[in-house]
Amino acid sequence: MAIVTLRENQTTTIPAEGMLHVEASPAPGYSQHVALTLEGEATIRPVSPSASRLVRGTGRIRIIVSPRDGDEFGPGTTIHVNVTRGRPGTPQVTGAEFVGITLDGRSETVIGTLHYEDDTLVIESAVGSTQADQPFEGVAASVRAGLRALINRHNIDTSILETAPTPIAVDSSVSMKAQTTEEDLDLAVKLFIGAVGALKPETSFSVRDDRLGRPLEMSTREELIQHVVTAVRSEGNHIGAGAHREPGSPENPTFSISDEEPYGHQPYGLSIVIGDTVRDGLLGATDTPGVLRVTSELRATMEEGSDASKNAIYEHILNSCITAPAEGGPR
């Protein structure tokens, strides 16, 4: 038996004989150090901060990884975890490899479990089974990491935020369909996902668009993205103003994606405005409290801007959602 590759929620078995070597390491190109812990009733011999030997155990033994530097893994951090018996590089080696696992924004994370069944050792991959375990990518990962850094730097307490679904209003009017590009919509959704991922990482979404008589609750980001794209691009879009963001609260900020500027100032939340009128308009991306315009300049900043220019965007999002600046400027 050789090394078996495990994807999320997959299982393999090997004979339960001899000592196991369990090790975590960054994937090529990733430098962040990772710590590995085996947790359970077992005889464990640490080899290094990122590796341990398992002699024998009972019950379920958890394989846990965490960042050695800082509170959470940086954007896009990917690691490998190997569970092997025998000398590496020889035909006798057996075990399992957990495929490259993206850990951006996570802290202590259970990668998988080990448990003995008579003369068999069961190796199971557990990562990816919950909303919180789904990795963030691209712009969403950058926004989330940037906001988390600001929250930690300013010692902002986010425990007040409810675990209730995060409300988002989606404009599905004819003008929204006509004036926005796929690139506009894609960037708007990623900005929203990154913001919510930083503020309320385990939340579901309460989505309202003007085609529906009531909000729909969605539990995953993938489901949200599919619904937003369908709402904006569907046939039979109605003529008139689309759905607008309702005022939020300190416990639950609200969001919207629309091609229209919001009516007045709505506290605690973010109105993301996209389309022809704002792409190269006179107003900048962050000129108005509670509003984020997807301008050409904003797109360029998120793609290749400096850390300082990105931080200005993250500060604007944070101020809009957490400190709820008054109309016309910060409180």
> Is there a single domain that holds both residue 60 and residue 166?
no
Q: What pLDDT digit, counting tens, does each position of 209-252 carry?
A: 877 767 888 888 888 888 888 888 876 666 666 678 989 998 99
- Overall number of domains in the chain: 2
**For residue 308, pLDDT beyond 80:** yes
Do both 87 and 229 map to the same domain? no
The verdict on 193 and 266 lying in the same domain is yes
Please tell me whether residues 268 and 120 are part of one structural domain: no
> Residue 31's pLDDT band (boundaries 50, 70, 90)?
low
Residue 70 and residue 104 in contact, taking contact as beta carbons nearer than 8 Å: no
- pLDDT bin (cut points 50, 70, 90) of residue 116 is confident
User: Does residue 174 share a domain with residue 315?
Assistant: yes
Helix (H, G, I), strand (E, B) or coil at 311: helix
Whether 145 and 263 map to the same domain: the answer is: yes
Range of the domain at 200: 138-323
Stronger pLDDT, 210 or 307, i.e. the higher one: 307
Residue 22 resides in a domain = yes
Task: Give Cβ neighbours of residue 271 (< 8 Å, ≥ 6 apart).
Answer: 244, 245, 255, 256, 258, 261, 262, 290, 291, 292
**Residue at a domain's end among 76, 111, 130:** 130
Residue 206 sits in the same domain as residue 104: no
Contact 24, 49 (CB under 8 A): no
What residues have CB less than 8 Å from 107, skipping those under 6 apart? Answer: 66, 67, 71, 72, 73
Identify the domain boundary among 98, 130, 162: 130
Rg (the chain; Cα; Å): 23
Per-residue pLDDT at 279: 93
Kindly state whether residues 81 and 195 are assigned to the same domain: no
Over residues 132-188, the pLDDT tens digits come to 445 567 888 888 888 887 887 888 888 788 878 899 999 988 888 888 899 999 999
Residue 297 lies in a domain: yes
Q: Do 195 and 145 contact (CB within 8 A), yes or no?
A: no
| Residues 179 and 112 reside in one and the same domain | no
Could you give the residue ranges of the DSSP H alpha helices within 154-220? 174-179, 182-199
